[in-house]
């Protein structure tokens, strides 16, 4: 058997009938087999399901309308793709909607994160059912698999951790057999299950990570992530005019970029690939003949400035109530709270009488953290901030980025400059 390749298609690449036809063309023109194909929820389906979850808790009268919109969207795509041959697919989708409604007929679970994961998985399940039915109509051999049967995790709902030994064993059992029999597997990104078969998710936008986990466990030759961009860019083209494609970067550079908030790749994706020296390609699904960007063990030098902007940041200033210094025992307590609520600290600064952290404005987590910290500390918050990180910075770029902004906090380490800013009104 040839070495396995892994493809991942994001939500934009399967958002409608025409997009799914394009996925079919890419797979049809790809001679490589065996091939594992990881697919996200269609378009903005995850957002739609999040609205359903919130309505289940706070606005149950609106649930029928929201669920109906979700059904109509998927069923319209199914009809557009299959042209009179969609009944079997509509039956499969109907079974998913029935299962979803069973959950929604019960009272919301007291654990919001658990409840979230039991509902949100329907997006990936529906999208892969639709893609699989279209590929079958096009006579492209493959087998549909439920990722929850082989992506095994702990019970940290919404940010589940992979249980590697159990996952490896399950992938060897289910995925390798399917690849041997059919040559191609279609499965879901982002989702997994606990040892008790409860659905879990790997963190928002976690489909990239699913692809990396499969590649690691299958000793794949490469992973390709198909996106709506030409590759990895030096900045977000929606924010900046002059951006360029990076043809090749190292694993370490990619890890740095994702750590600082670059959204092209899920932050956990790189490490499993680096551990087995599996190259990752980011390629444009609307121009599949283009090379895109390669991420590998090859060290890259003389890179241009790379700009990453993380909006919706909050600055917390944590002070002792008696104006004493913030000492080691205080930092230990602060970080215990941060760890318990699984909050990522994007930047921090220690002064004589306060400890300052910059975090994303995730309201539910932040409120809990603030309530815990206020038992021992005085807290002040500043919201509406941006965190700008520049790798391989130069003075001209930094001067340009500072214009029209109030600099709240700035730091430089090596060739990386970071600053928390507020736009001038």
Looking from the CA of 189 toward its CB, the CA atoms found within 13 Å total 29
Cβ neighbours for 150, distance < 8 A, ≥ 6 positions apart: 167, 170, 171, 173, 174, 175
Which of 55, 54, 42, 45 lies closest to 9, judged by CA? 42
**If you write DSSP's letter for every residue of 167-197 in order, what string do you get?**
HHHHIIIIIHHHHHHHSEEEEESSEEE-TT-
Which 8-state DSSP code applies to residue 271? H
- Angle at the Cα of 307 (from 201 to 209), degrees rounded to 5? 20
Question: In 5-111, where do the E strands start and end?
Answer: 5-9, 35-39
Residue pair 73/257 in contact (Cβ under 8 Å)? The answer is no
Residue in the block written with tokens 């879901």: 188
Residue pair 355/338 in contact (Cβ under 8 Å)? The answer is no
Give Dmax (Cα) for the chain: 74
Token code pair at residue 406: 């109030």
Cα distances (angstroms) measured from residue 357 to each of 3, 293, 313, 314, 406 = 45, 33, 10, 8, 18
Cα distances (angstroms) measured from residue 19 to each of 14, 36, 77, 228, 361 = 5, 19, 10, 11, 33
Does an H or E element contain 102, and which?
helix 87-105
Residue pair 255/247 in contact (Cβ under 8 Å)? The answer is no
Token code pair at residue 108: 């919301």
Q: Flag whether 72 is marked binding.
A: no
Q: Rounded to 5 degrees, what are φ and ψ at 121? A: -65, -20
Q: Flag whether 421 is marked binding.
A: no
**If you write DSSP's letter for every residue of 335-357 in order, what string do you get?**
HHHHHHTTPPEEEEEE-SSEEEE
Q: Which residues are annotated as a binding site?
A: 263-264
Binding-site annotation: residue ranges for ATP: 263-264
């Amino acid at each position: 058997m040839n070495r396995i390749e892994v493809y991942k298609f994001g939500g934009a690449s399967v958002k409608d009938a025409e997009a799914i036809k394009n996925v079919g063309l890419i797979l049809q023109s790809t001679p490589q087999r065996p091939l594992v194909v990881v697919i996200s929820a269609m378009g903005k389906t995850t957002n739609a399901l999040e609205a359903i979850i919130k309505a289940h808790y706070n606005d149950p009268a609106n649930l029928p309308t929201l669920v109906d919109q979700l059904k109509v969207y998927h069923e319209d795509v199914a009809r557009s793709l299959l042209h009179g041959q969609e009944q079997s697919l509509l039956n499969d989708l109907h079974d998913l909607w029935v299962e979803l409604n069973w959950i929604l007929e019960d009272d919301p679970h007291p654990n919001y994160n658990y409840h979230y994961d039991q509902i949100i998985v329907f997006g990936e399940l529906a999208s892969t059912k639709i893609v699989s039915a279209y590929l079958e109509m096009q006579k492209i051999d493959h087998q549909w698999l439920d990722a929850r049967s082989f992506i095994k995790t702990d019970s940290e709902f919404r940010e589940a951790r992979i249980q590697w030994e159990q996952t490896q064993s399950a992938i060897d059992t289910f995925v390798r057999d399917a690849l041997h029999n059919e040559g191609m597997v279609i499965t879901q990104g982002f989702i997994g299950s606990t040892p008790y078969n409860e659905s879990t998710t790997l963190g928002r936008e976690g489909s990239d990570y699913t692809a990396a986990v499969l590649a690691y466990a299958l000793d794949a030759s490469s992973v390709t992530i198909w996106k709506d961009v030409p590759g990895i860019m030096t900045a977000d083209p929606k924010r900046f005019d002059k951006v360029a494609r990076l043809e090749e970067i190292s694993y370490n550079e990619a890890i740095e970029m994702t750590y600082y908030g670059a959204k092209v790749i899920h932050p956990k994706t790189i490490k499993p690939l680096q551990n087995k020296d599996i190259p990752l390609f980011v390629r444009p699904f609307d121009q599949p003949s283009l090379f895109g960007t390669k991420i590998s063990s090859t060290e890259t030098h003389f890179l241009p400035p790379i700009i990453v902007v993380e909006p919706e940041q909050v600055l917390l200033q944590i002070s002792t109530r008696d104006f004493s210094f913030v000492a080691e025992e205080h930092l230990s307590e602060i970080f215990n709270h941060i760890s318990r609520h699984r909050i990522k600290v994007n930047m921090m600064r220690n002064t004589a009488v306060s400890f300052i952290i910059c975090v994303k404005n995730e309201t539910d987590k932040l409120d809990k953290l603030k309530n815990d910290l206020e038992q021992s500390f005085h807290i002040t918050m500043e919201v509406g901030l941006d965190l700008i990180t520049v790798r391989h910075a130069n003075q001209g770029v930094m001067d340009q980025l500072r214009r029209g902004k109030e600099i709240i906090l700035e730091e430089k380490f090596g060739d990386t400059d970071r600053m928390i800013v507020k736009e001038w009104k």
